């Protein structure tokens, strides 16, 4: 039974294909598909070999390389508004992060886009499957595609344990390889300078210095006119002197209050003593009997007795006239008795000196008290006036202090920005001289020889042709549904094979 042209069919029910069983493959089994597909193997081998060989010979790759050294030979002062700039330590070794940061700057999109525009890589991008699918693309699309292709072709890596960055680019044109790396190095240096020291710092600091200089001049003019406008030169000094005067006046006020209290107490004491002291005192005192009165009384007694004697001659003792005469005699005798007991005292008086002293002291104290009260009122009024003036001086002192602080702050800012302006000017001058922390240690050169020689291209073509031809042969044989051996018919169909006749190929 011939097996040529027989197609694959499923095995009958109840039978298990031998393909599901473990098969011990031999070298013959592995090589059999290659002999079966020897024409395909030979054809694909020759085609791929010739294609790779021609491609390698007709499109050689020229690689240009350059090396970038990252160092701290120049350390720029930190551009900030601090009055005292802080210098970075020049002896600190570079870290891996700093070197990798420079690598990322080289691979930044804006740098690669400028390289593409400078070297015209967008126009020489060539044909691609994307062009066939999308059709004609716009200029930004072509530039974006060229940037993506350039990023893939560039080989950028930091050499281990060094501060060197290796950059390589390969193309079929040695001039293009050189110019791409040359423009990449120049643009990267500009990018490095722009990133590590922002542009426009000199103009900014110069503008700020001019602005604070004008503000300082205005503040100084206000300070010069302050004394003329306010009518005083040094409010702080005057306020200090006035505070001393207020202190002295407060002391005088307390002294006056003490004197008033003392005078009031003294007046009270004088009045109390004057109430207990007589106003006048006896200076001369003399006494004498009442002789003239006794003489008069004796005469009156004698007349009364004479009258009674005359009446007694005429009348009875009980007669009223006799009784009246007896009464006159008794009264005269009683008056004589009293006169004999009475003595006349002559006394001379004068002002009491103690009383007069107290009165004079009271008058003098009253006068002093009035003066002390007037003095106290004047001192209190003066203190109130000086305190009000001190309040005005405080306000004027605060205003002057504000002007002085503003002038001092403007002066400090002016000096800071003036120094920063000089630092920025120095940095600009150094940047124009291309002094930076990175340098092109090994500049790119025009490659004279391709990356791969004829021997390398031949070996690559042989390896690629051998691998691809074998892979294609195995794939075609694997997906071929026809029977190749009688054993496959028995295993798959379960039909015994009497005889197998191979198909002869013409």
Q: Domain count of the chain?
A: 2
The dihedral built from the CA positions of residue 28, 29, 31 and 33, taken in this order, carries a sign that is positive
Range from 32-36, 222-226, 396-400, 419-423 carrying the lowest mean pLDDT: 32-36
Condensed to tens digits (0 to 9), the pLDDT of residues 281-325 reads: 777 666 555 667 777 778 888 888 888 888 788 777 787 878 888
* Closest listed residue to residue 370, CA positions, set 272, 249, 259, 268: 259
15: in domain: yes
Cα separation, 498 vs 228, whole angstroms:
136
Range from 8-22, 179-193, 298-312, 316-330 carrying the lowest mean pLDDT: 8-22
| pLDDT on residue 7 | 38
29: in domain: yes
Cα of 290 vs its chain's centroid, Å: 119
Cα angle 377, 383, 387 (rounded to 5 degrees) comes to 150
| pLDDT on residue 258 | 92
481: in domain: yes
284: in domain: yes
Q: Look at 251 and 501; give whichever has higher pLDDT.
A: 251
Boundary-marking domain end, from 351, 381, 396: 351
Cα separation, 223 vs 404, whole angstroms:
7
Q: How confident is the model at residue 469 (pLDDT cuts 50, 70, 90)?
A: confident
Cα separation, 356 vs 348, whole angstroms:
18
| pLDDT on residue 287 | 59
pTM of the full structure: 0.42
> What is the full DSSP assignment across 157-190?
EEPTTSSEEEEEEEES-HHHHHHHHHHHHHHHHH
pLDDT at 174 > cutoff 60: yes
357: in domain: no
pLDDT at 13 > cutoff 50: no
Q: How confident is the model at residue 401 (pLDDT cuts 50, 70, 90)?
A: confident
Condensed to tens digits (0 to 9), the pLDDT of residues 77-129 reads: 555 555 555 554 455 677 888 888 888 888 888 888 888 888 888 775 455 55
Cα separation, 406 vs 414, whole angstroms:
12
Q: Look at 126 and 57; give whichever has higher pLDDT.
A: 57
Q: Which two tokens stand for residue 113?
A: 């886009």
Condensed to tens digits (0 to 9), the pLDDT of residues 28-48 reads: 667 777 777 778 888 888 888
For the beta carbon of residue 270, count every other beta carbon within 10 angstroms: 20
* Secondary structure class of 433 (helix, strand, coil): coil
DSSP code of 19? G
Cα angle 364, 367, 369 (rounded to 5 degrees) comes to 110
List all residues 6 or more positions away from 434 whose beta carbon is below 8 Å from its beta carbon: 189
* Ramachandran assignment for 5, one of left (phi > 0), alpha (psi -120 to 50 degrees), beta (any other): left
* Torsion angle (degrees, nearest 10) of CA 142, 144, 148, 150: 70
102: in domain: no
332: in domain: yes
Cα separation, 128 vs 137, whole angstroms:
12
Boundary-marking domain end, from 327, 351, 375: 351
Domain assignment of residue 37, given as a range? 1-60+455-506
95: in domain: no
pLDDT at 1 > cutoff 70: no
Burial class for 354, CB neighbours closer than 10 Å (0-12, 13-18, 19+): middle
pLDDT at 442 > cutoff 50: yes
Boundary-marking domain end, from 324, 351, 378: 351
Condensed to tens digits (0 to 9), the pLDDT of residues 234-272 reads: 777 877 888 888 889 899 889 989 999 998 898 898 888
| pLDDT on residue 493 | 73
Percent of the chain with pLDDT over 90: 2
């Amino acid at each position: 039974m011939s097996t040529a042209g027989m197609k694959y069919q499923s095995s009958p029910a109840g039978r298990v294909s031998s393909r599901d069983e473990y098969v011990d493959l031999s070298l013959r089994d592995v090589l059999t598909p290659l002999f079966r597909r020897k024409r395909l193997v030979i054809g694909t081998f020759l085609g791929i070999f010739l294609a790779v060989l021609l491609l390698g010979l007709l499109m050689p790759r020229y690689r240009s390389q350059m090396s970038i050294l990252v160092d701290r030979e120049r350390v720029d002062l930190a551009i900030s508004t601090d009055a005292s700039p802080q210098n970075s330590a020049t002896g600190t070794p570079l870290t891996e992060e700093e070197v990798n940061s420079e690598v990322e700057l080289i691979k930044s999109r804006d740098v690669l886009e400028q390289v593409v525009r400078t070297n015209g890589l967008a126009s020489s991008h060539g044909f691609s499957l994307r062009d066939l699918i999308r059709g004609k693309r716009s200029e930004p699309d072509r530039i974006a595609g060229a940037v993506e292709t350039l990023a893939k072709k560039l080989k950028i890596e930091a050499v281990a344990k060094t501060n060197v960055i290796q950059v390589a680019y390969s193309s079929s044109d040695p001039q293009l390889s050189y110019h791409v790396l040359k423009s990449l190095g120049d643009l990267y240096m500009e990018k490095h300078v722009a990133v590590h020291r922002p542009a426009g710092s000199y103009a900014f600091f110069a503008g700020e210095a001019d602005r604070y200089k004008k503000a300082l001049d205005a503040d100084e003019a206000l300070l010069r006119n302050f004394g003329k406008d306010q009518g005083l030169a040094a409010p702080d000094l005057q306020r200090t002197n006035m505070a001393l005067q207020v202190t002295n006046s407060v002391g005088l006020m307390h002294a006056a209050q003490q004197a008033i209290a003392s005078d009031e107490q003294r007046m009270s004491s004088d009045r109390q003593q004057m109430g207990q002291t007589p106003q006048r005192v006896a200076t001369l005192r003399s006494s004498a009997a009442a002789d003239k009165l006794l003489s008069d009384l004796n005469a009156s007694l004698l007349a009364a007795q004479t009258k009674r004697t005359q009446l007694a001659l005429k009348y009875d003792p009980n007669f009223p006239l006799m009784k009246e005469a007896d009464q006159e005699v008794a009264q005269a005798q009683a008056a004589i008795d009293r006169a004999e007991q009475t003595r006349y005292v002559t006394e001379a008086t004068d002002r009491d000196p103690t009383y007069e002293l107290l009165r004079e002291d009271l008058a003098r104290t009253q006068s002093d008290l009035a003066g002390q009260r007037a003095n106290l009122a004047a001192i209190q009024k003066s203190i109130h006036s000086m305190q009000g003036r001190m309040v005005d001086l405080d306000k004027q002192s605060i205003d002057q202090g504000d002007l002085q602080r503003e002038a001092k702050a403007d002066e400090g800012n002016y000096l800071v920005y003036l120094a920063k302006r000089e630092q920025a000017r120095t940095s600009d001058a150094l940047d124009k001289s291309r002094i930076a922390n990175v340098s092109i240690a090994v500049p790119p050169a025009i490659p004279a020889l391709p990356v791969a020689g004829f021997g390398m291209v031949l070996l690559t073509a042989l390896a690629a042709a051998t691998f691809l031809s074998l892979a294609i042969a195995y794939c075609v044989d694997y997906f071929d549904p026809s029977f190749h051996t009688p054993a496959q018919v028995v295993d798959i169909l379960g039909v015994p094979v009497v005889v197998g006749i191979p198909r002869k190929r013409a």
